[in-house]
Each structure stands twice: as C-alpha cells, then as structure tokens.
Amino acid sequence: AQRVTQPEKLLSVFKGAPVELKCNYSYSGSPELFWYVQYSRQRLQLLLRHISRESIKGFTADLNKGETSFHLKKPFAQEEDSAMYYCALSGPGAQKLVFGQGTRLTINP
Amino acid sequence: AAGVIQSPRHLIKEKRETATLKCYPIPRHDTVYWYQQGPGQDPQFLISFYEKMQSDKGSIPDRFSAQQFSDYHSELNMSSLELGDSALYFCASSRLVGLAGGPYNEQFFGPGTRLTVL
C-alpha cells in the first residue's frame, strides 16, 4: 500500500532556530518523493523533489530508503517559512500523488 | 508564466444538485489530475487523464465523472451532491520530462474550487 505519514500536524519554532518536518512513507518499489508547500491564500507549489537533490529557500531533504523517510530540514527558520507543508510520493512517470496529512509550520518572531 | 486555471473558485449548491468544475492546464501539459481535499484532510486523488484518455482512477464516487477535451481542459461533473462532497477540489497538470535518472513528472496545481453543499 502507498502511504505517507507526517506525524506532526502543527510545528512551531522561533525565528533562527532549526526546523525539521518529518515524513515517512510506505511504498513497494522506488517512489518519487516530493515536498509541497502552501503559503497563506496561495496554491500548492512544489518545494523539493528527491531526485534533484537541491536546496530551495534553504530547505533540504534527503531520502533515506532504509528508514523510508524524507524529512525536510532548514538550519535557520525565517518568518516567511510559515506555511502548510505536505510530503507526497508518486510512482515512476506521470502518476498520481499520495499526500501526507500535512504539517502547519509557524515561525515565531 | 501561465498557471493552471480553475473555475469557478467558489461554488455553493444544494443537496441532490449537480456541479461542474473546470480546469485549464498549463499550455503543452498533457496530463491532468483531480484531487479532493476535505476539511482538515490531505488531498486525495480522484482521477487523471493523459492525452484525453483516463489514465488512473482513485477514490472517485460513481456520482462523479470527468473528461478531458481536445483543447486539454478538463471538467469534473458531480451529480446528486451530498453534504460530504463539500471540499476543496484541486486540479493539477504536468508534462513528462526526460531526465538522466528517468522520466520525471512535476505536477503544477491550480488554486482550487471550494464547493459547499448545503
């Protein structure tokens, strides 16, 4: 079964503190993993994908196949990072996304 | 840059009525996906189309149907609406991109249509 689990519905940290949003997945095969972000009153947009191994807005995420995790990290949180974050997976190619429950991140000044 | 367009943005219907949601993908995108997000829920996949043919089907009720037209826009038709159909309906579009590590699919989302069934 395909499943994505984000254990924290809410996460609140202070500006400048490190941030880690957890994501675990269940998938038989080699999935593609993504982080999507939704800022207030905006549409869902792609933040990171595991195959590109890039850093966007200071965020990174490493796929750990042994632990089936794809945690999102940022060393120093900024107020503009406050948003809803969704971890998602899909099979190879043009396939549907399976989303986690989402984590609402709030950065306090 | 052009983004995915959805209309209407808000829709209020009574129980047992019908509703039609429209999605206009990014130009040259060949795949359209529909997702339903209930209050406090994660987006759930409903159905997708590739080159105007249904490519995958998720937890879409039999009361719902969808199609993709020759201009690649898609419509989600919902009949015999129930209170539980109240949700945000997202459309996403994509175009398969060939990368060194294999084909890659990035889905671009529309702003959603908020359907309220009274």
pLDDT tens digits along A34-79: 999 999 888 999 999 887 777 889 999 989 989 999 999 999 999 9
Q: How many Cβ pairs closer than 8 A exist between chain A and B?
A: 61
- Asked if residue B58 has pLDDT above 80, the reply is yes
User: B1-30: per-residue pLDDT in tens?
Assistant: 679 999 999 999 999 999 999 999 999 898
With a cut of 70, say whether residue B99 has pLDDT above it.
no
Q: What is the mean pLDDT of residues A80-104?
A: 91
Model confidence at B59, pLDDT cuts 50, 70, 90, reads confident
Average pLDDT, chain B: 91
Output the pLDDT for position B98: 64
pLDDT at B81: 97
Residues in Cβ contact with A9 at an 8 Å cutoff, skipping those fewer than 6 apart: A101, A102, A103, A104
Residue B91: how many CB atoms within 10 A of its CB?
Answer: 29
Which pLDDT belongs to residue A41? Answer: 84
Q: Do A94 and B50 touch (CB under 8 A)?
A: yes
Contact B90 A44 (CB under 8 A): yes
The answer to whether B39 contacts chain A (CB < 8 Å) is: no
CA–CA gap between residue B106 and residue B116 (Å, rounded): 29
pLDDT at B1: 64
Please tell me the predicted confidence (pLDDT) of residue B40.
85
Q: Region B88-110: what's the mean pLDDT?
A: 80
Q: Any bridge partners for residue B93, and if so which? A: B32, B108
pLDDT range class, residue A91, cuts 50, 70, 90: confident
Contact B55 A102 (CB under 8 A): no
pLDDT cut 70: percent of chain B above it: 92
- Would an 8 Å CB–CB cutoff place A44 in contact with chain B? yes
How far apart, in Å, are the Cα atoms of B83 and each of A39, B34, B38, B80? Answer: 28, 19, 11, 10
How far apart CA A95 and CA B107 sit, in angstroms, is 9
- Note which residues in 59-88 of chain B have CB less than 8 A from chain A: none
CB contact under 8 A, A96 and B56: yes
